[in-house]
Each structure stands twice: as C-alpha cells, then as structure tokens.
C-alpha cells in the first residue's frame, strides 16, 4: 500500500512538473505574441504620426533657433561697403551719336527684406521633410524646405507678423499646430563707379527685385480669397516673368564686360534663378488654382532666401 501511495505521489510530482513546464511554455508564447503585437502597433503609430513628431520637434526648437536667426534684424546694412566699377560701353550707339561714357561714383542702397513664414513642421530627416512638403503642396501650400539645424517645412510667408499670427490662430482652430518662423536678409550700401546709365540699370535691378517680391504676396492673397481666378494670377506671373527676363538680359550684357565682380555676377545669378522660378509657375496649367497658388507661394519664399544668400555673398 505504501509503495502504491509513493508511486501515486511520484506520479503526481511528475504530472505537476510537466504541467508547470507546460504553463511556462504557454506564458512564453503569450509574451512573444504580445511583444510582436506591441512592435507592430508602434510601427503603425510611427508611420501615422510622422508629421506629429515633426511638429513636436518644431515646438521644442523653434523659439531658440528663431531668436538666433533673427539677431541681425531686418534693417541691418552690411558694414563692408561693396565696390563696383563698370567699364564703359565699347560700341557707339546705332544712330551714330557717341554715348555718354563719362563715369560718376554713386552709392546705391539695396534694402533689407523680411518675411514671417508659417512653419508647419520641422524634421531631423530630409526624406520625411520632403514627403511632408509634397503633401503640403498638394493642398496649396508652398512646401518650401528650409535647411538649417533641422529641415523646416514652410507653408506661406507674410510681410506683417500680425497676418502670420492670424493664420497661425486659424490653423490652431482647425486642429493644426504651426509656428511663425521669421526670415530676414541684410541690406547693403554699394559704392558704384560707372556711367549714369549703368548705375541706373543696377539700381533699378535691386528695386525691381523688391517690388516683385512684395507683389507676389498680393497675388497670393487675391488668389486664395477668390478675388481673382487662377488664370488672372497666371497672367500676372507672365508679366512679371517678362520684366525679370528683360532685366536679366540687361545685367548679363553689362556683366560680360566685367572681370569677375561678385556684386554684378551675383546679381545676374539672382535674376537667372528668378527667371527659372517663374518658368516653374508658368509650366503649370493656368486653370489649376491649387498648383498655381502653391508654386507662387514657393517662389515668394524662394525670392527672399536667394536674396539673403546674395547679400551674404557680397558682404564677404
């Protein structure tokens, strides 16, 4: 009887041990399934919330970076005065009258430009920024990616901070976070020695760039508020493109007689980039309001960015 009881007890122990091992295996399988499920959910959340992650980054860094970028102020004038000497024209005028080749020295002021942009997101990864920018462009935003410590995606720009604040508040009411990111260029006082005709041509080039830059904001406002149809905005871009190209040709002819002067050659490059940007707008269908609006917004931001680069270059 004792042997039978011992056998039963031994059998129970073996059964308990087997049952215990079984429970451990089941627990391991269950934990493995839970772990895989958690990984899958995290992966889905990462893809879905990529934009939100970018906005979170933006919220953290924007105030610090904005303060640093804006330290120069919008009324800054380059301390080093660029000097430009343009040689006289070699050929006489077509009517046989000799051109006035007497030179004068004048100071030309290139004004500083500023803009308050709406930053929709900021990313640490360029690919994510470009994908977000494309989505923004499909909805009529500029989708301009500004590269500094981060890849900032900008939607639109305004001259007045108050206007940018209104848009920011409207976006917030619609459930979208955004930030105001100010951009400014320095200005410059340039001493130019040339004929009065050439001085006038160079001065008007700076004035025209500022004029067209400011004009784009009005076109954007009118188009997005349905004050004008897309075809009218397209027509205004054609007119601006024509004027920019004419000024570009005039500057190129002048630069051909120069010996690698950074001020004039940089101005030529500025206008070349402007012509290409307007070509990009005019490559779209004139009736496509969303795309035309997006392209104009992009060009508007690009104009101040290129001008800022140019001013930095000539101040070296």
Q: Where are the domains of the chain?
A: 32-69+114-184, 77-90+100-112+188-314
pLDDT (tens digit per residue) in 82-117: 666 665 554 444 555 555 578 899 999 999 999 999
Query: Is residue 250 exposed (0-12), middle (13-18) or buried (19+ Cβ within 10 Å)?
Result: middle
Edge-to-edge, what's the strand order for the sheet holding 179-184?
144-147, 151-158, 114-123, 179-184
Tell me how far apart the alpha carbons of residues 97 and 278 are, in angstroms, rounded to a whole number.
Answer: 38
Domain range 32-69+114-184, its CATH number among 3.40.50.300, 3.30.70.1070, 3.90.1300.10, 3.30.9.10: 3.30.70.1070
Does 1 score more than 70 pLDDT?
no
Q: How many helices (H) and strands (E) does the chain have?
A: 8, 7
Widest Cα–Cα separation across the chain? 139
pLDDT score of 101: 72
pLDDT (tens digit per residue) in 280-301: 999 999 999 999 999 999 999 9
- pLDDT bin (cut points 50, 70, 90) of residue 81 is low
pLDDT score of 70: 42
| Structure token digits, residue 250 | 């005039």
Helix (H, G, I), strand (E, B) or coil at 127: helix
Which residues does residue 121 pair with via DSSP β-bridges, in sequence order? 153
Tell me how far apart the alpha carbons of residues 40 and 140 are, in angstroms, rounded to a whole number.
Answer: 34
């Amino acid at each position: 009887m004792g042997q039978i009881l011992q056998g039963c007890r031994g059998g129970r122990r073996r059964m308990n041990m087997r049952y215990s091992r079984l429970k451990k295996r089941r627990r391991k399988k269950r934990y493995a399934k839970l772990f895989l499920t958690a990984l899958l959910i995290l992966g889905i959340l990462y893809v879905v919330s990529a934009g939100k992650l970018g906005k979170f980054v933006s919220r953290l860094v924007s105030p610090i970076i904005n303060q640093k970028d804006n330290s120069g102020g919008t009324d800054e004038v380059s301390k080093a005065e660029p000097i430009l000497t343009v040689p006289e024209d070699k050929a006489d005028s077509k009517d046989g009258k000799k051109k006035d080749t007497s030179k004068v020295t004048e100071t030309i002021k290139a004004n500083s430009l500023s803009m308050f942009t709406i930053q929709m997101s900021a990313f640490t990864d360029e690919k994510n920024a470009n994908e977000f920018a494309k989505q923004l462009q499909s909805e009529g935003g500029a989708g301009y990616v500004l590269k500094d410590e981060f890849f900032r995606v900008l939607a639109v720009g305004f001259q007045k901070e108050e206007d940018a604040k209104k848009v920011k508040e409207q976006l917030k009411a619609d459930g979208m976070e955004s930030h105001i990111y100010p951009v400014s260029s320095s200005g410059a006082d340039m001493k130019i020695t040339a004929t009065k005709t050439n001085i006038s041509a160079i001065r008007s080039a700076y004035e025209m760039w500022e004029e067209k830059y400011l004009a784009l904001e009005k076109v954007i406002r009118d188009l997005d508020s349905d004050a004008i149809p897309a075809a009218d905005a397209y027509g205004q871009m054609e007119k601006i493109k024509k004027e920019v190209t004419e000024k570009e040709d005039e500057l190129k002819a002048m630069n051909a007689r120069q010996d690698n002067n950074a001020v004039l050659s940089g101005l030529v490059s500025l206008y070349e980039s402007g012509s290409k940007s307007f070509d990009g707008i005019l490559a779209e269908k004139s009736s496509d309001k969303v795309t035309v609006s997006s392209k104009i917004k992009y060009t508007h931001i690009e104009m101040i960015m290129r001008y800022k680069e140019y001013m930095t270059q000539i101040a070296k």
